[in-house]
């Protein structure tokens, strides 16, 4: 048995059905639009981010290219510096070799010069063995060689020795602009010179200080001046003897004297005899005795 709904009822059902389907389609459409808008915004953001990243990457690439260029320049500069250093090192080595060679030559020449100086010194010393030096005898005007010889003979008479036949030459040195430059007497032999020097030592050793050989013995007017008579020393030995006497003032040594142009030191009677040959040796002696 079938039941047929009323006509009005059927129409309501249809309307109701249509009215419920319309809002759903509208909602879906809005969702789609919102989604599309969101997607577009995301795309725009990503596009901007990509552009920023591309710009930054490009800048980084440019910076890297610049750095690479700078590194290349630095490498080239380092290479040039290394080459320059190698060249300079080579030049330095060459110069060092030349300097060493010159130093060796200088030492060789210095040694040869020292040998020649010693030979000249020995020859001069041998030549001076026949000569003595008389100091503190005033000069007379005019002064001639005969007058000088007379003064020397007067001294020999005071010393009680006869040397008249043993004198080869007499002269006054002109080393300084003064009136009492030394008188140099040359004898015929070293024996005669030593004989005269020994007579002076004997004369002075037998008298008190005020009675030792002086200008008064020669009858020279004026202030009393001691007369010193020593062997004639070479300039080198004279300087060394002066330095040795300065050392002796410190009472390190009791005796200091010269014989045949050679300098000797002795601490005390009976102690070891020391011959002074150079200023370097004298400095060593000073340092050793200063300790």
Same-domain check for residues 192 and 258: no
**Cα separations in angstroms, 287 against 105, 250, 252, 282, 290:** 32, 12, 11, 9, 5
Per-residue pLDDT band for 10 (boundaries 50, 70, 90) equals very low
Locate all alpha helices (DSSP H) within 160-189, ordered by sequence. Answer: none
- Predicted confidence (pLDDT) per residue in 137-194, tens digit: 988 888 889 999 999 999 999 999 999 899 999 999 886 666 678 999 999 999 999 9
Of 159, 184, 188, 186, the C-alpha closest to 174 is 184
- Examine the fold and report which residue of 91, 111, 128 is the final residue of a domain before the chain moves on: 128
Beta strands 262-266 and 228-231, pairing class: unpaired
Claim to verify: residue 123 and residue 187 sit in the same structural domain: no
Whether residues 252 and 272 fall in one domain: yes
What distance lies between CA 88 and its chain's CA centroid?
Answer: 24
Asked if residue 138 and residue 92 are part of one domain, the reply reads no
Do 209 and 180 reside in the same domain of the chain?
Answer: yes
Give the Cα separation of 120 and 190 in Å (integer).
Answer: 19
- Domain, as residue range, for 251: 233-291
Number of domains in the chain: 3
Would residue 45 count as lying in a domain?
A: no
In terms of domains, do 138 and 89 share one? no
Confidence of residue 3 (pLDDT cuts 50, 70, 90): very low
Q: Are residues 208 and 226 in the same domain?
A: yes
- Position 55 in a domain: no
Does 168 share its domain with 228? yes
pLDDT value for 291: 58
Among 26-35, 92-101, 235-244, name the one with the lowest average pLDDT.
Answer: 26-35
Q: In angstroms, what is the C-alpha Rg of the chain? A: 59
The token pair that represents 92 in the structure block: 């330095």
Residue 5 lies in a domain: no
- The confidence score (pLDDT) of residue 9 equals 45
């Amino acid at each position: 048995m079938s039941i047929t709904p009323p006509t009005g009822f059927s129409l309501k059902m249809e309307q109701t059905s249509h009215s419920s389907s319309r809002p759903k389609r509208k909602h879906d459409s809005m969702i789609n639009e919102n989604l599309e808008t969101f997607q577009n915004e995301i795309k725009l953001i990503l596009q901007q981010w990509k552009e920023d990243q591309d710009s930054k990457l490009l800048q980084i690439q440019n910076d890297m290219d610049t750095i690479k260029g700078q590194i290349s320049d630095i490498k080239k500069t380092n290479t040039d510096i290394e080459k320059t250093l190698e060249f300079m090192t080579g030049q330095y080595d060459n110069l060092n070799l030349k300097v060493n060679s010159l130093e060796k030559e200088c030492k060789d020449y210095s040694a040869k010069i020292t040998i020649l100086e010693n030979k000249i010194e020995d020859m001069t010393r041998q030549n001076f063995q026949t000569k003595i030096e008389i100091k503190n005898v005033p000069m007379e005007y005019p002064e001639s060689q005969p007058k000088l010889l007379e003064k020397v003979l007067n001294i020999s008479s005071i010393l009680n020795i006869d040397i008249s036949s043993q004198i080869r030459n007499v002269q006054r040195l002109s080393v300084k602009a003064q009136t009492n430059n030394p008188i140099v007497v040359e004898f015929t032999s070293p024996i005669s010179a030593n004989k005269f020097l020994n007579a002076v030592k004997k004369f002075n050793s037998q008298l008190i200080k005020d009675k030792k050989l002086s200008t008064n013995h020669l009858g020279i007017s004026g202030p009393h001046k001691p007369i010193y008579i020593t062997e004639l020393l070479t300039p080198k030995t004279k300087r060394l003897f002066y330095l040795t006497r300065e050392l002796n003032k410190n009472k390190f040594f009791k005796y200091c004297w010269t014989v045949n142009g050679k300098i000797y030191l002795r601490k005390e009677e009976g102690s070891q005899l020391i011959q002074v040959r150079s200023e370097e040796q004298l400095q060593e002696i000073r340092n050793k005795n200063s300790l």
